[in-house]
Every structure is written in structure tokens, then in C-alpha cells.
Amino acid sequence: MILTEDLVLLDDLLRLCAAAGAEPEVHHTVPERRAAWTDPPLVLVGDDVAARCRGATRRPGVLLVGREADDPAVWRQAVEIGAESVLILPDAEGRLVDLIADAVEGAGGQALTVGVIGGRGGAGASTLACALALAAARAGQRTLLVDGDPLGGGLDVLLGGERVEGHRWPDFAASKGRLAGGALEESLPSVRGLRVLSWDRGDPVHVPAEVMRSVLAAARRRDGVVVVDLPRTLDGAATEALAQLDLGLLLVPGELRAVAAAHRVAGAVGMVLQDLRAVVRGPYAPGLDERWIAEALRLPLVGELPYEPDLSAAGDGGAPPGADDRGGLGRFCAAFWEHALAPERAA
């Protein structure tokens, strides 16, 4: 809802609402009907009519919009009407579009975003990422799996969904500006109860860092879980993906060379991501175990990924990794989410 008599301000606010996909009601003062004031998720009050909102029922989602940043009256009025913040145009236009779009989408909390990266080539990061996504979906979480490795062959293939219609990375490579979370999710292939943003089998396409930022911001905006499969080479897009993670998992095979390689990966990742943890898988070289490896890397240990020699063969046969919740990989992923999501459930 918009409250203003300033026609120039109204034109600006209507333009910004249109950009965010919103169709607002327009009033010149607080509506007499209580529900008309309390029901809209967002109320934009022009500084020209702020005085008329004094005494109105206090409610969340009220923003005072003005044009004069140096006018102390604007800030005083915001306090008087219980506004959550003051937005000065035109500088705050981008932020206001985001707030309007979030209100339209009914945005709640941020999705828990987990990235998986291999300590060395062939460590099985894509396998673990797919299994984690499947386990999250089985647990009833809204789940989105993002393929951040352009040279990995496509996670949709690993899930058996390469023929499912929907957008892939090349469809977003040239996009600009904000993406709506709902529109992003609906455009992606739905495979085994989750949404997948994968690469296709066409020629390589460059995804700029700003596109990765926009896509992941949209993916994270709607609660649930986002799992990102990351490459070991950190270009601009991969670095941007790391910056948006809540938690990173470094998958390390139980070999000395793998530990040495993982140490270098951890150093590069740690420059961007604060919460990086180790997942170790066997079989182990003599004298090594999961705790020794985690200590050598100076990373917290999430756990030991059970060794399943037939896992690759199962994937080639059409059963995605972790599809069997009774297998070692499926049990590992279920236990991971039970622990990782516990604080959110308690909240």
C-alpha cells in the first residue's frame, strides 16, 4: 500500500512497484477500515503525509519514503509513526525494489545454503552434493541444487533428469538485475522432489559473478535448503558462490596426496568462507583416519563418509547417489541435515 499526495513521488513508487511485480493500493491517508491498514505486507508512507499516520495502529512493514536526506523532520516523523526505516530516493531505489519484491513473494527466512567442494579432483563432491539434496527433499525441505561446476558434466545427468524440461545456466548467463525467487524456482527442472539448476551439454558459457550473486540470492530467499556443488578452481562466479554459503564441506579422500591438495583448497576457500568443515571418506592409506586428516587440515570434522565401492556403478545405472536412504551415503546425509537444521527447527 502507498500513502502519498505527492504526484511525483507516487509516480516513482508506482514505477518501482511495477519493477517488483506488485500492484499497490494508493491512499492519501490511513484508511478508515482497520484491515486495510494492517493487512498489506508493506506500507510505503510518503513524507508529505507522514503526520496523518500519527496515532495509527503500530504494525511491522511500514517504511517512510522521502527525498531530502538532510531533513531532520523525516527521521523524527519515522519515529513518530513507528516506521522500520527511512528510504531516501533515488539512492534507495534498488533496496526498495528488493523490499517490495520480498513482500510480494511472501519472503520468510533465508534458506540454509551448503556448498560442497572436493579436496582433490575426483573426490566425489558432486556425488555428495546430489545425495545431500535428495536427503533434504526426503526430509520435507524445499530444496534447490545448484551446479556451480561448469566442467562437471551437469548434475541433472547425475540425477537422471537431463531430459526434464526447464532452464539451465545458459538461460541465465545474460540476465541482469534482481531475480524473483518464485520465478527462478518454477523455471528450473523438477527432479526427484527438488529443483536443479545445472549446466547443459552445449558449448561452454561464461556466467559472470553478478549473475551468480543474483541467482543464489533468489534461491536463498524462500527458506528451506540450497546445496551448491563447487569447482576447485575459484573464478569470479565460484568466489561469489562461496561468499553466499552458510557452511562449506570439503570432501577429502583418505590419502596423503589428497590431504596435501585439500590443504591448498582449504587455504583458498578460507579466504572467502569462514565456516569450512571436513568430510573424510575411505579407504585410508596406512596410518590415516578421519580425525587425523581433519586435524592436519585444521578443520572441524563433520564425519566419515562411508565407503561404497559400487556407488559409481549405481549412478551409471540410473539410481542417483544417495537415493537409497538405507545405504551408507543416504544415512550420512540424513544425519547431517538432522544436525544442521536442528537450530532452525528449535527456533
pLDDT tens readout for residues 196-255 = 999 998 888 899 999 999 899 889 887 899 999 999 989 999 999 999 999 999 999 999
Q: What is the mean pLDDT of the chain?
A: 90
Q: What is the pTM of this model?
A: 0.76
114 in Cβ contact with 248 (< 8 Å):
yes
Between strands 225-229 and 143-147, the pairing is parallel
90 in Cβ contact with 222 (< 8 Å):
no
- For residue 318, what pLDDT band results from cuts at 50, 70 and 90? low
75-127, pLDDT tens digit by residue? 899 999 999 999 999 999 988 988 888 787 765 578 999 999 999 999 999 99
105 in Cβ contact with 221 (< 8 Å):
yes
The three-point CA angle 281-287-288 to 5° equals 25
- Nearest C-alpha neighbor of 208 from the set 158, 150, 134: 150
Statement: residue 300 has pLDDT above 60:
yes
